Amino acid sequence: MKTKFVYLSILLAFSLSGVNAAVPDCQSVVIGSGVAGMKAAMDLKDGGNKVCLIEKMPFPGGATNLAATYFVAVGTKEQKAAGKFISVDDYVARQKKMLPNVDVDKLKAQMLCSQKNLDYLNSLGANITRVLSDYQIGTADGTSLGSSIVKVMFKALKEKGVAFYPNTKALDLVLKNGVVTGVKVRSGNEEFVIPTKNVILATGGFAHNQKLVKKFAPEWAGLPTTTAVGSTGDGLEMAVEHGAKTAYTDVVRMNPSVHSENGVNSSLSAARAEGGIMVNLDGKRFCNDYYPDYTQLSRWLQKQKGSMAYIVIDNKAMKASKRLQGFKDKGYFLQADTLAELAKKMGVPPKALEETAKRYSEFVKNGKDLDFGRQHNLTLDFSQPPYYAVKTQPGIQVTLGGIDVNNNMQVIKKDGGFFPNLYAAGEVTYDGSFRPGPTAVGLYQGHIAAQNILRKSNCGFFSLFPLAFRKFP
């Protein structure tokens, strides 16, 4: 109910039908109002740039609205205080081991900004302070991360006076001699061109466009997605039409915790983040339930009967997360006072589930998962009834490839070079790091794009030396 109120407030605050009255005066146009687009627009405004933020949906936030549980951050003072610290170098090495193609320098640059990312959002009131692991920090009360971020960033955006145009869809880019001169848009029943000197594409991924999924990532075609309905690849298609280079468009990050109810696909990853285990129809664990590579985890899940699993938690986990409580109120969870009763509702052997939970609770007690080597969020010991289970399957979370960009977030051309005034940030890009945390990466990239437009050599939020030449502390 609170989330609905927030969005209603947003819609009332900016109930524009579009820009019918007059063509906006924009030095820069940012397309898409997720975390990358909002950060870019605010930075441009702070730098004295006449910026227009356009959004095809009637509300801001894009896929950021759906970020479920945690903000990716490494080496922060919060994690150190909680005894869950890992250095950036060690984290990068761990990611490199799982993802051999990761660009180490870009990933390192992004993760070195963890503390500044976190401090920035919390300065706006996001309250991201609850340490979950050495790379995860959630909201203090377990509310959905994305809605918290969108709420505080959009409030700041309004306070800064950024010109925001909802219900305004970008149709095409206008170029002259390889330079962007405008954006063709549709607002209401009108189509017109907004002249501009710079464009930042922050339009999100393409997971909600089955045509593009079949084209780029056919392995996952037909599966549900938890991304935003507006993530249809608009920016990607526009850029490609004008000769932009793409990279790794076949790579997506799967979500092994998708629950589908009445045509709605929801991420139940919060259940695993709060310690939940995954069991198959035999009532047994079958893998590391919190393996950091969610795509590999999804492949393991697909090999189970029915290509599905149940996530099982206890009341301690439920009480820790307002997000999970919301799903419980919607009737997504099965509930029982004993594991045996819960097993009967799940349709799995009661004895098997009881034995699985008992064995796992010993692993939690001793701090070591002897069966599958789970290291993250090893906390749930099934000590507090009632018990809960939710049916899940794999689905697409985010697309990891997209428009190729240079270190300044300028769009690279297929035939070499780059567009001097066309930028891309967030999920629409291939960023080299395969986006370990879309919200964190989007924040970083939106800032870099804006600061390059403003031609600053140093900004207060991040240093803007090209990544290839940056010296890391």
Write out pLDDT tens, residues 375-391: 989 999 999 999 999 99
Q: Where are the beta strands (DSSP E) in 202-238?
A: none
**79-104 residue pLDDT tens:** 999 999 999 999 999 999 988 888 99
**pLDDT band at residue 433, thresholds of 50, 70 and 90?**
confident
| Rounded CA separation 382/392 (Å) | 20
Q: Which two tokens stand for residue 333?
A: 């969870």
Looking at the predicted structure, is the pLDDT value of residue 19 above 90? no
**338-374 residue pLDDT tens:** 999 999 999 999 999 999 999 999 999 999 999 999 9
**pLDDT band at residue 461, thresholds of 50, 70 and 90?**
very low
* CB 378 within 8 Å of CB 241: no
| In 309-381, alpha helices (H) | 315-320, 322-329, 339-346, 350-366
Cβ atoms < 10 Å from Cβ of 445: 28
Q: How many CA atoms lie within 13 A of 179 on its CB side?
A: 7
Q: Is the pTM of this model over 0.85?
A: no
Q: What is the CATH number of domain 254-397?
A: 3.90.700.10
| Rounded CA separation 418/428 (Å) | 16
Q: Which two tokens stand for residue 227?
A: 């991304």
* CB 290 within 8 Å of CB 377: yes
Q: Is 48 left (phi over 0), alpha (psi -120 to 50) or beta?
A: left
| Rounded CA separation 403/411 (Å) | 7
Looking at the predicted structure, is the pLDDT value of residue 5 above 60? no
Q: Where are the domains of the chain?
A: 24-251+400-469, 254-397
Cβ atoms < 10 Å from Cβ of 322: 14
**pLDDT band at residue 472, thresholds of 50, 70 and 90?**
very low
| Rounded CA separation 213/227 (Å) | 13
Q: What is the CATH number of domain 24-251+400-469?
A: 3.50.50.60
Any residues with CB less than 8 A from the CB of 159 and at least 6 apart, and which?
none
Cβ atoms < 10 Å from Cβ of 218: 10
